[in-house]
Each structure stands twice: as structure tokens, then as C-alpha cells.
Amino acid sequence: MILGAIEAGGTKFICAVADEQFNVTERITIKTTDPETTMTQVVDFFKQYETDLAGIGIGSFGPIDAKTTSPTYGHITSTPKLKWRNFDFLNFLKGYFDIPMTFTSDVNASAVGEFHSVENQEVESLVYYTVGTGIGGGAVQKGELIGGQGFTEMGHQLIKRHSDDDYEGTCPYHGDCLEGLAAGPAILGRYEIEGKDLAEDHAYWEILAYYLAQCAVNTTQFYTPDKIIFGGGVMKQEHLFPKIREQFKALNQDYMAVGDLECYITGPSLGDDAAVLGCLEMIKAALSDA
């Protein structure tokens, strides 16, 4: 039995096949262009394994419709990538492979992947955020995704503005929500350079840490997780972690007991492999339930 995984990102797709112990035997990367070009390569990849392929787990960029009872279940919905808007991802694939598939957001897949990683064996619940071109979040409690059949969007939570920050925010829906103030494009929008080119001692990093610390405070109060993981491009700036922890401490005022902050607010343990593992976990679970 072979398990398939598709991490469908906004810039690249990763397709992988693995055995039941999640040992990945082959993986490829495909550029995200338009549905026809990209998906043809996806189909070609999995066709090689068709005889033994038991199911495919999908974690997609969004917004998506992940509600199994919805008529547009399995679609990418109102994405700014116009070519992908309203693309019926799941049924397109089902046209080529008549096997079980799971469909969730890429960040939910990463959250599930991290939850099942070796490092998090003792963890009963965790929340995974990706801070990159946008901010997405996925929350797992006892192996189950919070948000039920839908998917959570806590990247757009409303938070307090830093007193030194008057940037209007990039979010087309909310302006200065968390994503609008703290994702990668908000750095470019403020300083006309990318985060990776901003000096480590630039005052912005404390502002960003203040926003991400608020995110961690709210996350703690909404979910009381065992761990909050921040991944994604912006978090490659590792100096952010101690800054976030420090501001979390100042904001939390010991109100919520979270244990050792070094363990509580941390980077991903799987690097960029979390989403693929999460897709594999989800399709395996679905196959076992069936």
C-alpha cells in the first residue's frame, strides 16, 4: 500500500509517495503556474504509482472549501491567484484516481505533521503558524483539527497596534489585522525592502515581535495548547524567537501558565516537511476509518 501527499503551495507544489510508516520514497517539486499545467504534472507523478496508491492527502493554499457537506467541497475559492479561483481541486484529481482523498489547508496539514513528529510525542495539543507572504494557523487537539470541517483563519485575528507603528496594513479585508501588519508584504510595504535585507537591530523587529507575541497570547487563551510553533519565511529570522518570548512574558503577566517559554514558543521541528507528513497522516487516518 502506497500513500500519496500533495502540499499545494502558492509558489510550488510538493508531491510525495510513502509507505504506511511514512517513509517517503519519492518526492517532486512542481511550479505553481495555472491549474492545467501544474495539475497535469501532479497526475503524471501519481500515475506511476497507480496500482498500489491507496489514497491521497491534500493540503492546499487557500482559501479553500474544506466542509465535506458543502456543494463546493474540495474547491480553492476566493484566492487572489485568479487562475486558481474556484478551481475544483478534489474533483479534478478524482477524475484520474478513484481512491479516497482528504482535503485541508496547507497550514492545517503542517499542524498535523508537527503534531505527529518525534519531537512532539508528549504534546497533546499544538498550534502551528506560518508567517510568510500571509499568516495562516492550524490547531490540533488530541490529533483532531480545531475548526471542525472548516478551517481556522487566526492569521487574520484583530490585535492591538504598536504605539510606534502607523502602517495601514496590507490585508484587503481587514487592513491592520495580524496578517495585514505582520506578514512579509507588510515589511516590504513599510520599508521597500524585504525582511531578509532588514538589519537585525532594526526597530521593526520589536514591533513585529509585539504583534506575534499578541498572537501567542490570544492563541494561549483560545486554545490552551501545549505548544505554539511559528514557521514560514519570516521566521527564518531566528532572532525573532527570543524577542517574541520576552514580549509574550510582558503581555501575559503570568496569567496563563505555559511552562518553559523556550519549549512553548518555538520553531518547527520538521522544517519544510511538516505539510507532507501531515497529508500522509490524514489520508492514512481516513483509510483506517473507512
| Smallest distance, a second copy to C-beta of residue 157, A | 5
Provide, rounded to whole angstroms, the least separation between the CB of residue 135 and a second copy.
11
Cβ-based neighbour number of residue 190 at 10 Å: 17
User: Residue 153 CB, nearest distance to a second copy (Å)?
Assistant: 4
Identify the bridge partners of residue 140 per DSSP, sorted by sequence position. 126, 145
Cis peptide before 63 (omega within 30 of 0): yes
Distance CA 231, CA 228 (A): 10
Q: Cell for 9?
A: 503551495
Residue 21 vs 142, nearer CB to a second copy:
142
Choice between 259 and 271, CB closer to a second copy: 259
Q: Of 148 and 242, which CB lies nearer to a second copy in the complex structure?
A: 148
Instruction: Report the residue number, 110 or 157, with the smaller CB distance to a second copy.
Output: 157
> Cβ 105 to a second copy, closest distance in Å?
11
Q: Minimal CA–CA distance to 35: which of 87, 109, 70?
A: 87
CB of 123 to a second copy, least distance (A): 11
Residue spans of alpha helices (H) in the chain: 35-47, 89-94, 106-115, 178-182, 184-191, 204-223, 240-252, 261-264, 274-289
CA distances from 193 to 50, 185, 187 (A): 46, 10, 7
> Of the two residues 142 and 201, which places its CB atom closer to a second copy in the complex?
142
Q: How far is the CB of 58 from a second copy (least distance, A)?
A: 19
Q: What's the closest the beta carbon of residue 256 comes to a second copy, in angstroms?
A: 6
Footprint of a second copy (CB under 8 A): 124-125, 139, 141-142, 144, 146-161, 173-174, 176, 214, 217-224, 251-256
Distance between CA atoms of residues 56 and 282, nearest Å: 9
**Angle (nearest 5°) at CA 20 between 17 and 23:** 55
CA–CA separation, 153 vs 74, rounded Å? 17
Shorter beta-carbon distance to a second copy: residue 102 or 108: 108
Determine the Cα–Cα distance for residues 10 and 233; give it in Å rounded to an integer: 13
Residue partners of 259: CB distance under 8 A and separation at least 6: none
Q: Residue 128 CB, nearest distance to a second copy (Å)?
A: 14
Cβ nearer to a second copy, comparing 42 with 140: 140
Return d(Cα 252, Cα 226) in angstroms, integer.
16
Looking at the Cβ atoms of 217 and 229, the one nearer to a second copy is 217
